[in-house]
Structure 1
Amino acid sequence: MMHRKATRLLICDLDNTLYDWVGYFVVSFYDMIEKMVEISGCDKEALLDDFRSVHRKHHDSEHPFALLETETVRRLHPKATVQEIAKIYDPAFHAFNSSRKRNLTLYPGVMSALKVLHASGVTLVAHTESKLFSATGRMQRLQLTKYFSRLYCREASASLNPAAGSYSMPLDNFPRNRISELSHHQRKPNVQVVKEICEVEGVATSDAAYVGDSIARDIMMANDAGIFSIWAKYGSYSSKSDYQKLVRISHWSDEDVVRERFLAHKAKDARPNAVLCNSFDEILDHIEAHEALEPD
């Protein structure tokens, strides 16, 4: 007798898989920059250089309140407290938040597909290279937390700015016991990490699927782990202008650039088991295709 062996675990990348991270972040960040230049009269290019330095220091292009650590701010307000500076530039923070509210939206088919998968008993976990507060903040804002049983993300920065106060996003809807923080050395494409995710969830790799937008970071990793790989092809596109603006302030070091080139070369022959061309809800057909007849 034969029965269907369904996918029991879906490991889901977040940025550029469930929403357009590059598109929303670049627009929001540069709206903040324009407002800060308007307030302070500082040189925009020098300010962008400062942001890049702070981001590299923390290995994070989304380091919370990086603005308050820039040399430009320190030079303009040498005697002001962090709290005083935060108040001066509150309109710049507000510009970022307003832009994020307008531009951070789910890709087509995400919510409907997650509802179906969750209701069908598939365990959903998120795996991202974003740090703790960035990842949880977006999941809460997009009302995703109830569908994911666990979040695997990079560990929070050691130094969060004390001026954050009411700006910070509470973790009430995604408590710490549902979060596993990964070190900088556990970055994608770390095969052992996804194998351990399956082990923690009590699911064999053959019963799991992984969906992500990056061939080198997501698909190659899933393939090497023996996990059914699903490429969110729609998320691999971003405008050249947005990408250049991102690179301008990115935390990527020369070593990171070399690593990316190595991974791209290594992944040139990697092929996903399935492809989502236009929307996330195409995953429902592909996960069904992954089911196989197994003997009792």
Structure 2
Amino acid sequence: MKKKSAFLLMMMGALLAGCTVASEQEHKADRTQSPAVNARWLTLIVKAGNGVTPQPVTLQYESEQCKESRSYGVGGQSQSGTTMMRALNFEKIDLVREPESDAYKARFAIDAGGSCGWKLVSLETSFKYTSGHALVHGQELLSHRTTFTFRSSKNAVTTPNVRVSRIWFPVIAVDDDLAKNTLHLRARSLFIPPDLNPSASGSLILEFKVAEDMAMLVRPDPQNRGRVLVTYPDGATGTESSIGYVGVDDERMICLLAEKKRDCEAIKLRER
């Protein structure tokens, strides 16, 4: 009797396992892309300045037609579980450098099609920076990621061809020992990427530049351990509460990095 019960339990377990596998396969979306003849395509061009190497681009596609089981968790295990949501597909695309050029390119479908009708919903890009500055020569770091969203929002940019130029500058923590100097990067100003909804196939041109000759230098304040001393590229000096705040939305740096020369002397230096 015991052998029969054990056998029945094993059979039931096998059947349940088979149902689980079948269920998972049933709800696994087909990620095959098959763009239609009239599909929109995007050519991504990253123009990289000195020391800048674009990293692979992460594309996120979404399907309105296919759904998949996805785990969620709210407020701990008591409010966690699974639910059916729109299927997502992530792809990493390498950018190919053009011969004898500082431009890197990739081309991919916005309307990727297939049985699930895949559509591009976001594009995430970043770059690696290798410094040529004498104080941190050869040091490398990765930039923060920049994400462009594709959707038909009210303020979405619908022109097929878009160009975005961004400038960063080094912030260097200086130590008495040159080998202990550390490199940081700051964006010239806050940037909120626009939503994109191109009306036709086109291009997204990103110009990434690090103004290496416009570094801000940071040293400990010998009079106050709670502050750091900051030296601007033009020789002006100020203070900051910590290196994490140095160069963040700094009006003087925004002025110094402006395309058209401006008088930056009148801008009050940070003292905090």
| TM tier, smaller | under 0.3
Return the structure number with greater relative CO, CA threshold 8 A, min gap 6.
1
Whose helix proportion is higher, 1 or 2? 1
Whose strand proportion is higher, 1 or 2? 2
The structure that has the greater radius of gyration is 2
Per the normalisation by structure 2, the TM-score is 0.20
Per the normalisation by structure 1, the TM-score is 0.19
